[in-house]
Chain A
Amino acid sequence: AQTVTQSQPEMSVQEAETVTLSCTYDTSESDYYLFWYKQPPSRQMILVIRQEAYKQQNATENRFSVNFQKAAKSFSLKISDSQLGDAAMYFCAWTRGSTGFQKLVFGTGTRLLVSP
């Protein structure tokens, strides 16, 4: 069974600094997608960034970027120039590419605290 592990229950960062959230996964599939979701206090899950496993280039969305190490099965999220609004739970997620739908497997999340 596929598993996603987030080993950091909580991380802290100061405004304008950079923080990296870790995620590792275990799968025997070769075709899959990886995601980072943000869950603010409102609890709505918001897609931050996604990575296709077949793409070697790391995905980037404005201040958010990933370090995708396929051989190591690692998928970390880097947040640059952190803002107070970045404070939230962050979930790493995996889905099989060939399934055709998003049956996501989530990690247990990392709570990000941002201080002024």
Chain B
Amino acid sequence: NAGVMQNPRHLVRRRGQEARLRCSPMKGHSHVYWYRQLPEEGLKFMVYLQKENIIDESGMPKERFSAEFPKEGPSILRIQQVVRGDSAAYFCASSEAFDTGELFFGEGSRLTVL
């Protein structure tokens, strides 16, 4: 059973470009979470999605950032007009249940903005 798959693992963008990060949850999981890790810091919650619904986006910047989890296909975190401060590791996690069951994390996507 494959784990949470994220791609790309590394992404380099110049300021002003768009970054798209993809996450395929574990098989059977319909709950997806995105977290961001800045250098030397812990992970910070960004957004929680279920299929076709954003449940909680309280940790996501209001501008330039968006997330989706369509009925078919992976969840996508999209960052428009990237700035240097967006450079970070972005982690996706999935869970099977709505309660506090285990979260399974992917290996993260490291975004570098030049």
Contacts and interface: CB of A to CB of B under 8 A. Distances in A.
Contacts of A56: none
Interface residues of B, number: 26
Interface string A99-115: 01111111111000000
B32 to A, nearest CB: 11
A102 to B, nearest CB: 5
Interface residues of A, number: 23
Given A43-B108, A45-B105, A101-B55, A91 B42 contact: yes
Interface in B35-83: 35, 40-45, 48, 55-56, 59
Contacts of B107: 42-44
Contacts, number: 59
A43 B31 CA distance: 21
B25 interface: no
Given A101-B48, A103-B48, A103-B56, A45 B43 contact: yes
A91 B89 CA distance: 15
Given A45-B91, A102-B33, A103-B56, A95 B42 contact: no
B98 A108 contact: no
A33 interface: yes
Contacts of B35: 104
Contacts of A4: 42
**Chain A binding surface, main DSSP class:** loop
Nearest to B89: A43
21 contacts: A42-B107, A43-B108, A44-B105, A44-B108, A45-B93, A47-B102, A50-B102, A91-B42, A100-B100, A101-B55, A101-B56, A101-B95, A101-B100, A102-B100, A102-B103, A104-B45, A106-B43, A106-B44, A108-B40, A108-B42, A109-B42
Interface of B: 31, 33, 35, 40-45, 48, 55-56, 59, 89, 91, 93, 95, 98-100, 102-103, 105-108
